[in-house]
Chain A
Amino acid sequence: MQLVVNGVAKTLDVEPEMPLLWALRDVLDLTGTKYGCGVAYCGACTVLVDGQPVRSCSFPASAAEGKQVTTIEGLAKDGALHRVQAKWIELQVPQCGYCQSGQILAAAALLDQNPSPSDADIDAAMTNVCRCGTYSRIRAAIHAAAKA
């Protein structure tokens, strides 16, 4: 199987139905993408496939063939943090941080599609779970990134 992950072509010998999450984590050793529930509820495993956020725990690796996969490790470009990452640091968003790879990628995808989202837009797009309860800072950081 051929995957393009963070702009780099990779060849994998895995079952077509293996979830993209586990192909990334255990085969390609990209551990920034997290396992949370395995049933596409929590979004800890969110990655971008052709710019769209997908829950990689429930997305077969084979479905990503021929597409661009972006993980948290590939969001910064040329050594510069994505504006969402920069605002995440500036507003000190993460607590435990485990869900934040998925939150950041979901936020980056939202801003790509909607440069100045309203609170209602954020409510609709940001459905990832954060058990530490960082939602108010995530919301503020998305608004700040929109203005950056």
Chain B
Amino acid sequence: MAISRRAFIVGGALAGGGLLLGYALAPFSNLKRARSLGAEGDEILLLTWVKLAPDGTVTVIVPHSEMGQGIHTSLPMMLAEELDADWSQVRMVQAPADPAFANGALARGYFRGEHEIPAALSGAMDFTARKIAEYMNAQITGGSLSIRATGVDGMRRTGAAARWMLVQAAAAAWGVPAEEITTDKGVLFHAASKREAGYGEFATAAASFDPPADVPQKPRSQYTIVGHSLPRFDIPAKVDGRARYGVDTRVPNMVYAAVKASPVFGGKLASFDAAAVANRRGVLKVLEIPGGVAVVADNTWRAQQAVDALPVTWNDGAGAAHSSDSIFAGMEAALEKGGLKRDWAEGDAETALRGAAKVVDQTYRLPYLAHACMEPMNCTASFEDGKLEIWGGFQDGLGARMTAARLAGLPWEKVALHHTTMGGGFGRRGPTLNYLAQAIAIAKQVDRPVNMIWSREEDLTQDNYRNASVARVRGGLDADGRPVAWLYEYAEKHDPAEATLIPYGIANRLARYASDTDPIPFGPWRSVDNSIHGFYIESFVDELAFAASKDPFEFRRDMLAGAPRHLAVLNGVAQLSGWGTPLPKGRARGISLKESFGTIVAQVAEASAGPDGRARVHKVWCAADPGEVVHPGGLAAQLEGGIIYGLTAALYGEISIAGGRVVEKNFPDYPMVKMADAPAIEVMLMPSGARTGGAGEPGTPPVAAAAANAVFAATGHRIRALPLRKHDLNGPPEPQWRPEQGGNSESS
């Protein structure tokens, strides 16, 4: 059954409750509450997203967190564009963590489904309804949704409505028809009577006009702000030490804490000998916290030294039995056992596979990954007089505040949350808040503010990880080497639901998955499931091309007749990279294509084997269709950053489990791309004018397959498990493909 958008909204409302829908459709219903929180002095809060002062200053209230992706600049640009504001008068403040600023626009993005939902994806229905409930009361900065939901649904609509209100106010004051009033750079004009006035003059009067729900917006051709790489508001403070991150929180009477949690997931504290460290210099308290211990001291270093020296014994519990080997074996066994959950299907993949002239059947593995934000997890908390105050960087400030209230046993009104700049997020500072729970437990036992900073060792070993997974993929080719069947099986599905979809025109396709195979704490990691399926799908498509004796670019191109945007991006990257032109000896190109968060990205990597037999990636070309481009420089930076993040994982990234605990303790065990091994990156933006896509994540998913496919082209080694550094490319290559039993294929 096809799901119409409207039915989907109604269905979501029925599943999630009428209040959610009502809230979503009444974006201005919180006006009074927001005015009481955000308006200062004689400023009038026109709408929840913007303040306009009598001096003409426009303050845009952004309900999302800045972690370097530039939204504290690009979202105000979208509002200022529709308002016809003077950019030099535009300021930005981050919305306080209060329900009045809950991100309804973002929730509506999920409501609608940012994708055209194919009939095949009926399984996504329940999933999306759950997401609505989860995000409805949130200020989530994630899912690459800030621009495409808050920007498109919130900022633009609000900017246009604010301009409409100002025009009405001027028309009433001047006694002229509103249609005769024009606006430009923060000034209202009435040409016939030669009158003009700055927006600030009518800020107060405008507030008495009720805006209609949908004020017409500018055509893109009239944009003067959006589409330009304006300097980001947050950058000057990031070059001279002024920017305050969570770790930099300093409040009066504050002390510092260091912690150690059970190294085995789910393990418990058995005992600790506080007396052994209590008399060390600067140590104030030695505490038990849920699942671990904390030392409070007069500075971070003394606290950390003491917690490192503290004798602790743990009850490891059943979790100690887990290892990477046992987890992978469990995932493979689950796929073999069958009874998998259906993800989506079209045609009859199993029958088509049996009738195929040639069948390719391969199994892939991906390891756990840590987020490894440059700023380790941290939180400052103060619990005094029945009130809790929190300072830190959160991708979901309101969600963190609600979680803090629940953990502290307080009504949410008794909890205040102060946003700081974030030293990286990548999903880690979103829904997984084990560090917040620890900070609150400490604050409850200390009668002054406590700044708790994790050591890098805690940060790597107490993360919520990108899950490990296994996939078995089977593909069938007809006698002419055209793909006719796609059977995709994998362990563990998180989100987004559409991450397993393929754009290729293969008539018979089926995806299904095993659940409950992963005992390690999960958290969203930049692009979430897309980083996994980008590798599996695009590696396997390369294997199909090889089995069909076709060029990997041409093989993909020939399957994209029904997907013109994907085809354009694939052609774009082929042209950009000089696909097919000669390269120095030993080097080769690999190609990959993955849509995620509404943005279609194709990448080509150029790779070789180094003298040590390890993969080197020399250059990456990237073509992207994000629908529209709000801030070209920012989007390019996000794509480049996403490529480096994904390439670090592809080349080096592996969190392994032994005895139920994480083996990699610090950066030397979990190496990263640095300047010397960072490839040159060339980005080409190809906005098609389609619905606005995401920016923060879509650069990551394609790069691992592009690199691995280039390694194959250069060395003959087909890489079916990452990271690349574990493969000796000077050794004998693995078999290219093997026929499935029962297939009509001939062995190669």
Q: Does B721 have its Cβ within 8 Å of any Cβ on chain A?
A: no
Q: Does A99 have its Cβ within 8 Å of any Cβ on chain B?
A: yes
Interface size class of B (residues with CB under 8 A): 35 or more
Bound state CA distance, A127 and B640, in angstroms? 19
Are A42's CB and B667's CB within 8 A?
yes
Q: Does A9 have its Cβ within 8 Å of any Cβ on chain B?
A: no
Are B238's CB and A131's CB within 8 A?
no
Contacts A37-B456, A38-B455: A96 and B374 contacting too (C-beta < 8 A)? yes
Within the complex, which residue of B373, B456, B637, B678 is in contact with A38, where a contact is CB–CB below 8 Å?
B456
The chain A residue with its CB closest to the CB of B242 is: A32
Residues of B within 8 A of A36 (CB): 374-376, 456, 667
Are A75's CB and B675's CB within 8 A?
no
Are A95's CB and B675's CB within 8 A?
no
A84 to chain B, nearest CB (A): 8
Residues of B within 8 A of A127 (CB): 674-676
Number of interchain pairs (Cβ within 8 Å) = 173
Are A19's CB and B301's CB within 8 A?
yes
Residues of B within 8 A of A33 (CB): 241
Residues of A within 8 A of B424 (CB): 96, 98, 131-132
Bound state CA distance, A89 and B675, in angstroms? 19
Are B676's CB and A26's CB within 8 A?
no
Residues of A within 8 A of B588 (CB): none
The chain A residue with its CB closest to the CB of B645 is: A133
Are A26's CB and B300's CB within 8 A?
yes
Are B374's CB and A99's CB within 8 A?
yes
Are B643's CB and A34's CB within 8 A?
no
Bound state CA distance, A50 and B680, in angstroms? 33
Residues of B within 8 A of A100 (CB): 238-239
Residues of A within 8 A of B79 (CB): none
Are B675's CB and A122's CB within 8 A?
yes
B304 to chain A, nearest CB (A): 8
Are B67's CB and A94's CB within 8 A?
no
A56 to chain B, nearest CB (A): 12
Within the complex, which residue of A96, A138, A139 is in contact with B375, where a contact is CB–CB below 8 Å?
A96
Contacts A39-B668, A76-B240, A133-B641: A128 and B674 contacting too (C-beta < 8 A)? yes
Q: Does B112 have its Cβ within 8 Å of any Cβ on chain A?
A: no
Are B675's CB and A123's CB within 8 A?
yes
Are B372's CB and A136's CB within 8 A?
no
Are B245's CB and A37's CB within 8 A?
no
Contacts A73-B241, A98-B424: A131 and B675 contacting too (C-beta < 8 A)? no
Contacts A42-B667, A96-B422: A136 and B231 contacting too (C-beta < 8 A)? no
Bound state CA distance, A134 and B678, in angstroms? 10
Are B644's CB and A32's CB within 8 A?
no
Which residues of B625-680 have CB atoms within 8 Å of chain A's CB atoms? 633, 637, 640-645, 648, 666-668, 672-676, 678, 680
Bound state CA distance, A77 and B247, in angstroms? 26
Residues of A within 8 A of B637 (CB): 92, 95, 134, 137
Which residues of B236-295 have CB atoms within 8 Å of chain A's CB atoms? 236-245, 247-248, 250, 256, 281
Bound state CA distance, A72 and B236, in angstroms? 13
Residues of B within 8 A of A34 (CB): 245, 247, 374-375, 423
A80 to chain B, nearest CB (A): 11
Q: Does A81 have its Cβ within 8 Å of any Cβ on chain B?
A: yes
Contacts A26-B300, A135-B644, A135-B678: A31 and B240 contacting too (C-beta < 8 A)? no
The chain A residue with its CB closest to the CB of B73 is: A92
The chain B residue with its CB closest to the CB of A30 is: B241
| Minimum-distance CB pairs A-B, first 3 | A32-B241, A133-B644, A95-B68
**Additional A-B contact list (18), CB under 8 Å, known A124-B676, A127-B675, A131-B645:** A26-B301, A30-B241, A36-B375, A38-B456, A44-B374, A72-B240, A89-B236, A92-B231, A93-B235, A97-B234, A98-B374, A98-B424, A104-B239, A128-B674, A128-B675, A134-B637, A136-B681, A137-B637
- Where the two chains meet, the residues of B that have a C-beta atom closer than 8 Å to any C-beta of A are 67-70, 229, 231-232, 234-245, 247-248, 250, 256, 281, 299-301, 372-376, 421-426, 453, 455-456, 633, 637, 640-645, 648, 666-668, 672-676, 678, 680-681
Interchain residue pairs with CB less than 8 A apart (9): A25-B300, A42-B374, A93-B235, A94-B234, A94-B238, A96-B425, A129-B672, A131-B373, A133-B641
